[in-house]
Amino acid sequence: MTEHSVDTLQRLYEGVYSDGKESFFSRFVDGKDISETDKLVWSAADFNGKRVLDVGCGTGETAAGVAAQGALSVVGIDYAPSAIEEAKRRHRAPNLNFRACSVLEWGEVVDVVVSCGTLEHMAEPRQELQRMIELVGGKGMIILTCPYFLNIRGFVWMSLALLLDVPMSLTDRHFISPFDVEGWLAETPMRLERVQPFDYERANGPQMLVDMKRRLTNALRDANLPNDKVDRALEWLGKVVEYENRITPGRLGGSNALYVITPR
């Protein structure tokens, strides 16, 4: 797997948010957010009266939605200052604040930690998760989302990653699955209460094929492997997608998953 220093990732995401995240993240199509992430996170807990920390908040949409549900306080943190500046510009509420820092620099205990699409980018996800457990005092709640690989897209990527060290992107360091999270929680006071896959279309549908063409072409190039047969592979995957959606729709997981972690 491709490894990057924290400084390298910080610089990359500074550029992403300065240039506009809509052209970088696959959850956006023609500038529109097509993911179910925010709605699922907002419905994953009763945030009323809670102190909430959003780790890797980006431009603040998830944090703002939590604040609107009556949270006592919500702080969104991100190590890209350009993201924090944009979050402050877009979202204002008396119970909502944003700060440029990492989760390891945050010191205040909260009731709920939310983190969407960040764990897979961190150098040591197990360490970062342990820090989140400390921040909820081992008795609060942690709500995560991560890319999910128990689907058509995932089977392709895990084969490429494990056999040929092909990176999914220049920022994804880890391919996280529920059994990984269960292992990281084994000796902690917390447990994985629920896993809910979502964004099915981007894992098993036509939108997956569009995204895979770009990802496969770039990833094989980054791994110094030939990418001239991507169209041939996608033609076959297109038949798989058509058949799976016609014969057994909904039996595989989506492109992302919600993880709800609670005390044992």
Contact criterion met (CB below 8 Å) for 215 and 237: no
Residue 15 confidence (pLDDT) above 80: no
User: Which residues lie below 8 Å from residue 147, measured CB to CB, with a gap of 6+?
Assistant: 117, 120, 154, 168, 172, 175, 176, 255, 256, 257
Q: Do the Cβ atoms of 260 and 143 come closer than 8 Å? A: yes
Q: Are 64 and 42 in contact (CB under 8 A)?
A: no
Q: For residue 2, name the pLDDT band (cuts at 50, 70, 90).
A: very low
CATH number at residue 60: 3.40.50.150
Residue 245 lies in a domain: no
In angstroms and rounded to an integer, the radius of gyration of the C-alpha atoms of the chain is 18
At 103 the pLDDT is 92
pLDDT of residue 63: 98
Question: Is residue 228 one of the residues assigned to a domain?
Answer: no
Please give the angle made by the CA atoms of 124, 129 and 146, to the nearest 5 degrees. 85
Q: What is the pLDDT of residue 171?
A: 78
* Number of domains the chain is built from: 1
Position 224 in a domain:
no
Q: What is the mean pLDDT of the chain?
A: 89
Q: How many whole angstroms separate alpha carbon 188 and alpha carbon 180?
A: 14
Q: What is the pLDDT of residue 173?
A: 86
* pTM over 0.95, yes/no: no
Q: What is the pLDDT of residue 1?
A: 35
CB contact set of 74 (below 8 Å; sequence gap of 6+)? 52, 53, 54, 63, 64, 66, 67, 93, 95, 96, 97
The whole-number pLDDT of residue 29 equals 60
Residue range 20-40, pLDDT digits in tens: 655 555 565 666 766 899 999
Q: What secondary structure does DSSP assign to 83-101, as a single string?
A: HHHHHHHH---TTEEEEE-
pLDDT at position 167? 82
Rounded distance between C-alpha atoms, residue 145 and residue 117, angstroms: 5
| Residue 215 near residue 168, CB atoms below 8 Å | yes
pLDDT band at 248 (very low <50, low <70, confident <90, very high): confident
Please give the backbone phi and psi of residue 35, each rounded to the nearest 5 degrees, phi first: -85, 155
**What is the domain extent for residue 145?**
6-150+166-200+253-263
Q: pLDDT digit string (tens) for 85-130?
A: 999 999 999 999 999 999 989 999 999 999 999 999 888 999 999 9
For residue 3, the model assigns a pLDDT of: 42
Q: Residue range 76-81: average pLDDT?
A: 93
Tokens of 60: 């603040």
How many angstroms separate the CA atoms of 200 and 245, rounded? Answer: 10
